[in-house]
């Protein structure tokens, strides 16, 4: 009975460590995916701002 309890404690401790490492890796993966998505969104917004700025610059009667 005592051996079973010791095995149970060791098993739960290993499970806790496994889940802690697993959740850290999972969080890292989700952070990378979200970061790539946000970088893509930021690049599209930057491109739109550059295009609009160019249109305003070249379509402006005061530019030339």
> Is the distance from CB of 18 to CB of 24 less than 8 angstroms?
no
Segment 27-53, tens digit of pLDDT: 999 999 999 999 999 999 999 999 998
Mean pLDDT of the chain: 89
Model pTM?
Answer: 0.53
Whole-angstrom distance, CA of residue 40 vs CA of residue 34: 10
Q: Angle 35-43-57 (CA atoms, 0-180°, nearest 5)?
A: 160
CA 63 to chain centre: 42
- Token look-up 């890796």 returns 25
């Amino acid at each position: 009975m005592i051996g079973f309890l010791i095995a149970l404690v060791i098993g739960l401790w290993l499970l806790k460590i496994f889940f802690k490492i697993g959740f850290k890796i999972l969080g890292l993966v989700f952070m990378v995916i979200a970061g790539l998505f946000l970088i893509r969104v930021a690049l599209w917004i930057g491109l739109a701002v550059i295009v609009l700025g160019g249109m305003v610059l070249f379509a402006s009667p005061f530019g030339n």
